[in-house]
Amino acid sequence: MRVPHLKGIVAAVAVVALLTGCAAQSPSPASAKTLTVGLTLEPATLDLTTSDAASIPQLLLYNVYETLLKMDSTGAIRPLLATSYDVSSDGLTYTFHLDPRAKFASGAPVDAAAVVSSINRMRDAASATLQSQMSVVQDVQAQSDHTVQVLLSRPSNFWLYSMTSTPGIIVDPAETDMATAPMGSGPYMYDSWVKGDRITLKKNPAYWGTPGRFDQVVFRYIPDPNSMVSAMLSGDLDIMGEMISPDSLPRFADTSKYTVIKGTTNGEVVLGFNHARPVMQNLLVRQAINYAIDRQALLDTVWAGQGQVIGSMVVPTDPYYQDLSGNYPYDPQKAKQLLAEAGVSNLTLSLRVPITPYAPPAATFIASQLADVGITVTVEELDFSSRWLPEVFLGGDYDMTIVDHVEARDIVNFANPDYYWHYDNPQFQALITQADEASAADFITDMEKAAQMLSQDAAADWLFVFPNLVVARAGISGIGANATSLSFDVTTIAARD
């Protein structure tokens, strides 16, 4: 999904400096090197095939599970388990050439049979999102021990890009419990989970590539912004992986103690509408809501001005980005006029949001602004895993909600009427399909049209692009400025002793 027509851009894997012929000895407690990372949302399960929660690949992608190809912090696709790949002239057949050195942490080889098994596992996943991303795959076969051929039902600009993320993870065929004991080929292995507190990964001593730089990596889950900042200031964290109180940034200004990394993400903070509700099927109502909200003021209030206002489900790092934030400028009088034209009065809407650092304050701001144009909003805050996911995302019990959609190029979700927004626009669906199958030049043009169509139809209210704000203690290096994938990738991170 990152780059259209990625034919032939992946070169052979560079020879690694450190071969894995001898396994490292287990470190003594005194010499053990630990990296502690603070994150916000703890996953309810580690099974990527049953849950769409981004907190799972944030932990496991590239660290424990590897993919055939990897997305780096610049958005470029790089080789990982596959050294290279070929694409047929009709764009239907992809042939991946696997690195013969690759093996799972169990010692089993990452061979063609294992890749076929994993791709089929993703095709058959309970996750509707994975099923959608893999729906274009018609067949997958092992051509030799280290060659896999994937046949698509139609050309797809998006499919190869998606294979750098969750759909492309390669799972050890021996794995039977993805929920609590993930087994992959990465430089780190699952170690332990203290529910409500932390998940620990340990170094894979027999990793086939460049080894991990830490004996263990501890992901601590701290949902409260003040507690996260305190943990970083007190030295309990090496990295604050998510700055969830951006107004606290000045507290980390001492460059002798801290490094602040600022960049961008793929995350669109979206005021999502449930189009299954009759009131949300009314274009005038949706447009009124868009006009009623001052998004720049919301960004300044909720996220200390960090981030960028947008006008559609496209982020600035996408090649088809356009600034559509001006399509619905703040105009409460226009909002009132549209509601009157729609014949809507005394409208009450539910706004059910997950308990995250950005959603409840954004909900309070939005409820106030919608009240100014005559819309009553009832705000309900829900635990993300135990209530928001089953009730809102899966159950569709909401009028509006607010979520940071962190998946890359996820504008395609609006082409899926079964996705939790239930947005069903045949013209938009046809345009997305046309773009997916198009040439490189036409892909960009078609996607620009799709973004404009989505914006004009007020399919949602796109509040802002979530910034990538990371704080690390001095001496930590290798953190990418931009979060271009779902992974909090610790495989590139190092620390001075």
Q: Are residues 171 and 81 in contact, defined by beta-carbon separation less than 8 angstroms?
A: no
Q: Which two tokens stand for residue 398?
A: 């909401």
428, 150, 68, 163: CA torsion to nearest 10: 10
The answer to whether residue 275 scores a pLDDT higher than 80 is yes
At 292-331, the pLDDT tens digits run 999 999 999 999 999 999 999 999 888 899 999 999 999 9
322, 325, 326, 330: CA torsion to nearest 10: 180
At 212-233, the pLDDT tens digits run 999 999 999 998 999 999 999 9
At 242-263, the pLDDT tens digits run 888 899 999 999 999 999 999 8
- The pLDDT > 90 percentage for the chain reads 82
**pLDDT for the residue 408:** 83
Nearest C-alpha neighbor of 4 from the set 313, 320, 265, 310 = 320
Q: What is the mean pLDDT of the chain?
A: 91
At 405-457, the pLDDT tens digits run 988 889 999 999 999 999 999 999 999 999 999 987 899 999 999 999 999 99
Q: DSSP per residue over 57-74, as a string? A: HHHHBTTTBEESEEE-TT
Distance (Å, rounded) from C-alpha 172 to C-alpha 153? 27
* DSSP classification of residue 451: H
Position 300, amino acid: D
**pLDDT for the residue 268:** 96
The packing angle between helices 359-371 and 295-303, to 10°, is 140
Q: Is 368 left (phi over 0), alpha (psi -120 to 50) or beta?
A: alpha
Confidence label for 64 from pLDDT (cuts 50, 70 and 90): very high
Q: Are residues 427 and 453 in contact, defined by beta-carbon separation less than 8 angstroms?
A: yes
The answer to whether residue 461 scores a pLDDT higher than 90 is yes
The answer to whether residue 25 scores a pLDDT higher than 60 is no
Confidence label for 30 from pLDDT (cuts 50, 70 and 90): very low
Range with the poorest average pLDDT among 22-36, 227-241, 242-256, 344-358: 22-36
| CB-side neighbour CA atoms (13 Å) of 127 | 20
**pLDDT for the residue 351:** 98
Q: Which of helix, strand or coil describes residue 152?
A: strand
Range with the poorest average pLDDT among 68-77, 93-102, 375-384: 68-77
* Residue 72 neighbours by CB under 8 Å, 6+ apart: 78, 480, 484
